[in-house]
């Protein structure tokens, strides 16, 4: 393993300063569940590693969940287990249930929100030291004609067909989250959809942060009128119930007004099906203004998979995605799950 310089600044501003000076040669260490794997497997060999955990624990700017629903800010250093179990986040089962199902307890006790959103993809070609894929300076994407059962089904225009690995991104997208991003001298806010990009070559990440920038926190602020009820849920299809990645994931959020049953402000997001987490305006539009039932949920699900272009081995994911969208919508509505025997 290449020797690296380890930085453990005592403040967040210290971290930002190191990142600024590192000029792209640093990796950020939070829970380490992704970075350490990549380093040990010779996928990433950074010159500098910057810890987000000070000697007295994680910096307070990134380690708390604060606010008053509907507006809640989650620090990027908050552990997955604490998102899953947060009282403040209870109105957002789309997010908490997704966090509760990530990997296993060991990962949830170490992994963080920032890590979930900024981790690198899990494509098995990318993760193989001896395969030079597009993202490692190679000329081809091996998944296109290779083993692609877990790869993207929305592939149009993507030379690299990874799926984005974050299970927290889709729920945050439907909950109208924004990201607080800081660098040594600047600070900016972006809607979370703009945090992601589809990488196509070496040096590009699955996120849009500049090398000197740090994701500091994410703020949930779903737009709902006073008196309305927010409804939200996520649904994942996982082969195993323990320590597995979702094959597909859908998150949905909408509100109903007092006494009404009609879905408004519908947002639907799809996970693990494309190089970025995807908002599906088409599916949202179908449900918008409709009463939620199996029929309308199915119609929205059909719209969600429109335009899917699966690869040689993953057409089954299209079917599963449809089911995930339908079930997420029905879960959000509070209907009795028809799929529980």
Q: How far is CA 264 from the centre of its chain?
A: 24
Q: Name residues contacting other proteins, limited to 277-336 (CB under 8 A).
A: 313-314, 316, 319-320, 323-324
Could you give the CA distance from residue 159 to residue 143 in angstroms, rounded to a whole number?
10
7 or 125: CB nearest other proteins: 125
Could you say which of 243, 261, 293, 312 contacts other proteins (CB under 8 A)? Answer: 243
Which run of H or E residues covers position 16?
A: helix 12-22
- Between CA 170 and CA 153 the distance in angstroms is 16
Rounded CA gap, 283 and 215, in Å?
29
Q: Which residue from 55, 87, 130, 227 is in contact with other proteins, where contact means CB under 8 A?
A: 130
Pick one of 16, 237, 328, 332: the residue that binds other proteins (CB under 8 A). Answer: 237
Q: What is the DSSP letter of 314?
A: -
Nearer to other proteins, 137 or 260 (CB): 137
* 139 near other proteins (CB under 8 A): no
Three-state secondary-structure class, residue 138: coil
Residue 234 CA to residue 250 CA, distance in Å, equals 6
Question: Of the two residues 68 and 130, which places its CB atom closer to other proteins in the complex?
Answer: 130
Q: Taking CB under 8 A as the rule, which mask of x and - marks residues 200-229 in contact with other proteins?
A: ------------------------------
What is the spatial distance between Cα 178 and Cα 73, in angstroms, rounded to a whole number? 9
- Among 20, 47, 128, 257, indicate the residue that binds other proteins (CB under 8 A): 128
We find the least distance from the C-beta atom of residue 324 to other proteins, in angstroms, to be 8
* Alpha-carbon distance values, 225 to 118, 229, 254 (Å): 32, 9, 11
Q: Which of 51, 70, 85, 122 binds other proteins (CB under 8 A)?
A: 122
CA separation for the pair 75, 59 (Å, rounded): 9
Residue 237 φ then ψ, to 5°: -100, 115
Please count the residues of this chain forming the interface with other proteins, following the rule CB under 8 A: 36
- Decide: is 244 part of the binding site for other proteins (CB under 8 A): yes
Minimum gap (Å) between residue 43 Cβ and other proteins: 12
Give CA–CA dist 334/265, Å, rounded. 17
Contact between 198 and 276 under an 8 Å Cβ cutoff? The reply is yes
**Contact map string, positions 89 to 108, toward other proteins, x by CB under 8 A:** ---------------x----
Shortest spacing between CB 79 and other proteins, in angstroms:
20
- Residue among 10, 24, 42, 187 that touches other proteins (CB under 8 A): 42
With 0-12 / 13-18 / 19 or more C-beta atoms within 10 angstroms meaning exposed / middle / buried, residue 37 is middle
**147-206 positions binding other proteins, by CB under 8 A:** 147, 149-150
Do 117 and 206 form a contact (C-beta atoms < 8 A)? no
The interface region with other proteins, picked from 78-86, 140-148, 156-164, 165-173 by CB under 8 A, is 140-148
Edge-to-edge strands, sheet with 48-51: 5-7, 48-51, 26-29
**Contact range with other proteins by CB under 8 A, out of 125-133, 184-192, 211-219, 304-312:** 125-133
Q: Does 146 engage in binding with other proteins (CB under 8 A)?
A: yes
Binding residues for other proteins (CB under 8 A): 1-2, 42, 104, 122, 124-125, 128, 130-131, 142, 145-147, 149-150, 237, 239-245, 247, 313-314, 316, 319-320, 323-324, 338-341
């Amino acid at each position: 393993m290449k020797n690296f310089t380890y930085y453990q600044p005592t403040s967040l501003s210290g971290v930002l300063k190191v990142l600024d000076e590192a000029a792209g040669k640093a990796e950020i260490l939070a829970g380490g569940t992704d970075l350490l794997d990549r380093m040990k497997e010779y996928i990433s060999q950074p010159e500098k590693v910057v810890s987000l955990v000070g000697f007295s624990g994680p910096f307070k700017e990134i380690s708390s969940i604060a606010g008053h629903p509907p507006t809640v800010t989650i620090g990027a250093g908050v552990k997955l287990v604490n998102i899953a179990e947060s009282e403040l986040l209870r109105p957002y089962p789309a997010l908490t249930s997704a966090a509760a199902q990530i990997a296993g307890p060991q990962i949830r006790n170490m992994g963080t929100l920032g890590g979930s959103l900024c981790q690198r993809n899990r494509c098995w070609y990318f993760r193989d030291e001896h395969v030079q894929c597009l993202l490692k300076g190679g000329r081809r994407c091996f998944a296109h004609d290779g083993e692609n059962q877990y790869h993207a089904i929305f592939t149009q225009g993507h030379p690299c067909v990874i799926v984005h690995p974050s299970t927290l991104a889709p729920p945050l997208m439907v909950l109208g989250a924004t990201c607080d991003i800081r660098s040594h001298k600047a600070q900016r806010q972006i809607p979370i959809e703009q945090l992601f990009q589809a990488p196509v070559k070496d040096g590009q990440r699955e996120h849009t942060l500049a090398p000197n920038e740090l994701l500091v926190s994410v703020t949930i602020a779903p737009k709902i009128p006073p008196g309305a009820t927010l409804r939200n849920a996520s649904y994942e299809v996982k082969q195993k119930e323990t320590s597995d990645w979702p094959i597909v994931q859908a998150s949905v959020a909408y509100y109903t007004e007092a006494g009404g049953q009609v879905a408004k402000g519908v947002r639907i997001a799809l996970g693990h099906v494309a190089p970025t987490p995807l908002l599906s305006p088409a599916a949202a539009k179908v449900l918008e203004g409709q009463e939620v039932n199996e029929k309308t949920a199915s119609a929205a699900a059909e719209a969600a998979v429109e335009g899917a272009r699966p690869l040689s081995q993953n057409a089954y994911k299209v079917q599963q995605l449809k089911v995930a969208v339908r079930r997420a919508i029905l879960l959000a509505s509070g209907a009795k799950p028809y799929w529980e025997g």
